[in-house]
Amino acid sequence: MKATNVDIPPDPSNATLLEERQSIPARPFLGRAPENFMRLVFREDRFFLVLSVFIGIFAGLSVVCFRFAIAWCRIYLLGTGATLAPLRMVLAPSLAGLLIAVLVIHVFPLARGSGVNQTKAALYIYNGYIPLRTAVGKFITAALAIGSGHSLGPEDPSLQIGASLASALGRRMRLSRDRMRLIAPVGAAAGLAAAFNAPISAVLFVIEEVIGRWTAGILGSVVLAAVSSVVVMRWFLGSESMFRIPAVQLERPSELIAYSVLGVIGGLASVAFSSGIATLRSRCRALPAWTQYFQPAVAGLLIGIIAVLGAPQVMGAGYLYIDEAMHGQFTWQMLAVLAGLKIIATLLSFTSGTPGGMFAPTLFIGAMLGASVGGAEHVLFPHLSGSPGTYALVGMGVLFAGFLRAPMTSVFMVLEVSGNYSIILPVLIANTFAYLISRSLQPTAIFDVLTRQDGLELPSMEEQREEGTLRVEDAMRPASGALLDAVLNARDSLDQVFQRWDAALPDVRLVRLDPTGWSSVTRQALEIMVKEGKGDLTLGSALSGRQLPFLHPDNPLETALRYVDRWPLLPVVSRADFRKLEGVISQQDVLKRYQLYGEGGDMRE
């Protein structure tokens, strides 16, 4: 919106700027250089950026420890070899499940689940508060669960550990409420970036799924935290990506059809996976409370049985097997079986309340499904150039888009993991199909389903994205009869007001000033001018110092709301020509439009 020199209320987003201007006394800059420098550094918003770096460092270090803990749990619970002893495969997840249940019920009740929703709840409900105990609990229980073979991943717990650490740090720093709310997502991005070794995806996921809005301040903090955590993680664990990335090729554009098929199948698999979680989780929660002690153990036992029966690949996060699938080390039939069994194993682990993430299982299922579809297509059409690895990579993105419903993150995640831009077209095509199918068959995203099952009502980022915005053009009315010419004198103007009386208009008329600008005049003001003998004065000269703000048709309607209570009638002008009146808008118009919308009216009339 273009504001003129009238008394316009300050835009809240500019508040900081105004405060800053007010707080700097008018003294020579050089004379107070040290103090000015200190002011520059120790303002809260800048200090928050510095704090973000520390959050990243602490989150990175915690995630490194978490990875060590998972590896040690795996070694001591399941053994050191790639082939596991059957007895261990059954006993380790079952007994670990019992211990986890006791810990979660009695010591760390907030450690349950994946961690994404808890971070969102901290942002929207608890003013950024996540107890440090949650980080400790998540660390211990998730490491035990993943290390013992439960079909869960380390990414979401890392996200929550990062958020929890950041929240604790923010509390110690006594940050303002606004900063406190944001600090948990900043820590979440740091945790996720370190766990995933993919800073861009982590930043995007947190912005897309947790915070839901972009501002320079938020982005700066999130990026700094993510980058510093990844640097720390790579310092200790190396910079290798999670998988050995195969060569990616797309020789003919017609092969995109093959990837579209993968998108469709991936979309359907995502729906099956998410509806399975939604259904089974609500049933598990409906069981008597005492069963919660045994649910993780039973899930572990069933996963162990699946492993003993010939699919040990479903145990744990399964990155090793994603890597093998990418390099064509399974037949397409085996890959399809593994994708199905992993869905079942993850359903069991997650819905039993075992702490752990869904990112890694999602990637596993996607990779297996992708490589399987690719393999089957190769059997049918041997001329296709895509390797199993390419299909597996695209498959990971497909499940990410279809199941986690993070379309942007899914694309960037594949790009970041593969480091190859030539995969972009297959990923875009397949992800779009998966996302659309998943949305149409399961309108509520899985994270929103889970929060609603928990009795919370957190803002759904997907619903917000889909929600339309009312604009000024939806509420404005035609300008006919509302305009007076600046060259008219007050007497003629008053006559014109009476001649073209419109009961629907407020008792005010707009005046187009020369050379630019708008003003308004009420009927009473015109009558007073005439009574005071100023009837010959032109409107232009009388109103030259009283300019109006104006709006454009595409401005959000809420922008109009900020002004209509102070000015009864506002001009809506073209962006190309500020003197061209597209319509007028009054408080009554705005309220009427909102009323219509509230009654279930369409976004557009």
Partner 1 sequence: MPEPDGDTQAAVGDERTFRRYLRHEPVVLALLSALAVIFFVAVTALSHLYQAQQEFLGNRWFMRGTTDLKQLHFDAAVTEFRSALLYSRDSYAYQLNLAEALIGLKRTGEAYAYFINLWDREPENGLVNLELARIAAQKSETEQALRYYHNAIYATWPGDQQVQRRETRLELIGYLLNISARAHAQAELIALAANLEDDPSQQARVGDLFVQTQDYEHALAEYRLSLKAQPHDPAALAGAGLAAFQLGRYNLAERYLQAAVSANPNDALSAARLKTAARIMQMDPFQRQISVAQRDRIVREAFAAAGQRLESCSAAGAAKGPATTPVAQPALSEDWAKMKPQITEPGLRRDPDLVNTAMELVFSIERQTSNACGAASETDAALLLIAKLHESN
Binding residues (CB under 8 A) for partner 1: these are 19, 22-23, 25, 38-39, 42-44, 47, 50-51, 54, 57-58, 61, 64-65, 68, 71-72, 75, 80-83, 169, 173, 232, 236, 240, 244, 246-247, 320, 323, 327-329
Longest dimension (CA), the chain: 105
- CA–centroid distance for 378 within its chain: 36
Between 31 and 253, CB nearer to partner 1 = 31
**Separation CA 532–CA 498 (nearest Å):** 19
Question: In terms of CB distance, is 240 or 532 closer to partner 1?
Answer: 240
CB of 405 to partner 1, least distance (A): 31
| Closest to partner 1 by CB, 61 or 264 | 61
Q: Where are the alpha helices (DSSP H) in 510-574?
A: 523-531, 539-543, 557-564
What burial letters (b/e) apply to 266-303, b meaning 16+ CB within 10 Å?
A: bbbbbbbbbebbbeebeebeeeeeeebebbbbbbbbbb
Compare residues 28 and 533 and give the one whose CB is closer to partner 1. 28
Q: How far is the CB of 307 from partner 1 (least distance, A)?
A: 16
* Whole-number Å distance between alpha carbons of 446 and 281: 11
Neighbour tally for 419: CB within 10 Å: 10
513 by DSSP, 3-state: which? coil
Q: Which residue, 72 or 214, is less far from partner 1 as judged by CB? A: 72
Beta-bridge partner residues of 585: 570
CA distance 366 to 339: 8
DSSP string, 451-494: HHHTT--PPPHHHHHHS---BHHHH-B--TT-EEETTSBHHHHH
Token pair of 102 as six digits: 């006791």
Alpha-carbon dihedral angle through residues 507, 508, 509, 512, given to the nearest 10 degrees: 180
| Amino acid identity for residue 148 in this structure | S
**Which residue number, 82 or 503, has a Cβ lying nearer to partner 1?**
82
CB of residue 88 vs partner 1: minimum separation in angstroms? 14
Smallest distance, partner 1 to C-beta of residue 385, A: 15
Find all residues with CB under 8 Å of 2, minimum gap 6, and list them.
549, 550, 578
Q: Which residue in 401, 363, 396, 381 sits closest to 258, CA to CA?
A: 381
Instruction: Give the residue from 407, 330, 336 showing the smallest Cα distance to 365.
Output: 336
Residue 38 or 603: the one with the smaller Cβ distance to partner 1 is: 38
CA dist 68 and 81 (Å) reads 17
Strands 483-485 and 508-512: parallel
Pick between residue 41 and residue 591 the one whose CB is nearest to partner 1.
41
Q: Which is nearer to partner 1, 61 or 425 (CB)?
A: 61
- Quote the least distance from Cβ 219 to partner 1, whole Å: 22
Residue 543 CB, nearest approach to partner 1 (Å): 30
Closest approach of partner 1 to the CB of residue 410, in Å: 25
Q: Rounded to the nearest whole angstrom, what is the least distance from the CB of residue 60 to partner 1 in the complex?
A: 9
Owner of token pair 């199993």: 388
Residue 47 or 126: the one with the smaller Cβ distance to partner 1 is 47
- In this complex, which beta carbon is closest to partner 1, that of residue 79 or of residue 553? 79
- Number of helices (H), then strands (E), belonging to the chain: the values are 26, 5
Question: Could you tell me the smallest distance in angstroms from the CB atom of residue 328 to partner 1?
Answer: 5
Taking the complex as a whole, the smallest distance from the CB of residue 136 to partner 1 amounts, in Å, to 15
Neighbours of 10 (CB within 10 A): 9
Give SS3 for 585. Answer: strand
Shortest Å distance, C-beta 500 to partner 1: 44
